Amino acid sequence: MPDRVDPCLAMLVDKPPKGPDWAFEVKWDGYRLAVYVEPDRVRIITRGGYDWTPRFGSIAVEARQLGYETLILDGEAVVLDDKGRSDFGMLQRALGRKPSLHDPREILFFAFDLLYVDGWDLRRLPLRERRWLLDPIVAGRTGAIRLSEEVEADGKEFYRIACAHGLEGIIAKHRDRPYHSGRRPDWQKIKCVRSDSFVIVGYEPSTMPGAIGRLLLAARKGEGLAYVGGCGTGWSYQETVKLRDLLDEIVTDAPAVALRRKSAVFTRPVLVAEVEYRAWTQDGKLRHPSFKGIREIGDSGDVFILGG
């Protein structure tokens, strides 16, 4: 049995592949893990090779109860929100050292591949055979270890539905390929991009002359505004110089949000940025935001409402 197997990683692509040779799954927003069941121990290893077994105690206990002397499961640890969607922020809180509303026992492991079982190294088998062997091990389980279901659907339609339901995206895997460590086109990920409007409440200057380093953004919350993070990508140098000139015309000494930033230049909340982003962090900030455009606050479109 291998001491460790480097994970197979999915390549980021713009759209799902076509054809019957591809299987589709939900893209889970969590921590990639491998569960190693051995005769005298269970190990839970992260994508980077760290042993996090103590942090996933309920998963380790259930892995021992699967009934196999040796086993390597590949999958993702997640915490689900009230709509059944994986939430990375909730997972971080459940793993945190500080007291949290989320119990570590809420962490689930969705297995999507089987690499080794009772003396047999399965990595040379095609995905369809590995999944055929995985199903009876974890299918139907409702505890800490569960099966990441394959979805029988057209990739384009599945992607549309996944994005409409607020999922992070989908994964496409070629059914006839063996398991290869590293990033390969055999596995592909297609992410859902969220796009919303946020009020510009200031900026942080760039180290480049006359440019902006980060826009400071806010969403509506009740009768006021709440800071949701900064955005520092999605523009050219020339565009950010023009944007800084525009913002310098509406500088104010009265910030629209409660925010302390030594280098921040605050502006009146009269302009709105269109921003693409992946998700929200555990402390209510935008994950991977990218600037797409600007308009006046009275223009068409609604500013994002927290809790709305």
As annotated, the active-site residues are 27
Q: What whole-number distance in Å separates Cα of residue 227 and Cα of residue 258?
A: 8
* Nearest Cα to Cα of residue 31 among 10, 13, 12, 45: 45
Q: Tell me the residue length of the chain.
A: 308
Tell me the two tokens of residue 74.
């590949």
Q: How crowded is residue 39: how many other Cβ atoms within 10 Å of its Cβ?
A: 7
* Nearest Cα to Cα of residue 245 among 297, 197, 291, 294: 294
DSSP-assigned letter for residue 207: S
142 Cβ partners below 8 Å, 6+ apart?
none
176 Cβ partners below 8 Å, 6+ apart?
21, 126, 127, 128
